[in-house]
Amino acid sequence: ALQWNNGTRLPINGTFIDEGTLPKGSTWARNPIPRIDFDSHSSGQPETFSDCRFVHGQVEGQACRQFEPPCKWDDGWYSQPGRHHSVDVEGACSGDWTGGVIVDKVLIPEDLPAGEYVLGWRWDCEESSQVWSSCSDVTVEND
């Protein structure tokens, strides 16, 4: 789900890939927030990419998004507040989205014994070689 900073949630379906992934047998989930790319020099777009431009401090053109955003009311984008002529732009649920967070549920097997566990995850960047990882302590208790 997407959750905006005001607490509003939008359930979304995940996009998962398990073919051609490394390590073999792993499943990857795609970030549901489409990137807004408006220059073909640094964002990996083909040189012939068009209808996406930065004009007078604003990004223009529908071709800028990598895919359709999950919230149907995302009909444009703007420079992030306080950043005139910024390369950081966002829409209602696209770009460098600062208006909320991505929320997910963790399914715990019914037969998992009560105890202390560590939940770990990693986030691999699509556009660079950056990898973020994090973890959390989890206590599983019997009802």
Q: Residues 16-51: pLDDT tens digits?
A: 989 998 888 888 888 899 887 655 455 445 555 556
Q: Which residues of the chain have pLDDT under 70?
A: 37-64, 79-88, 126-127
Look at residue 81 in the predicted model and tell me its pLDDT. Answer: 60
Side-chain half-sphere of 58: how many Cα atoms within 13 Å? Answer: 8
Look at residue 79 in the predicted model and tell me its pLDDT. Answer: 67
Look at residue 19 in the predicted model and tell me its pLDDT. Answer: 92
pTM: 0.70
As given in the structure block, the two tokens for residue 33 are: 């927030």
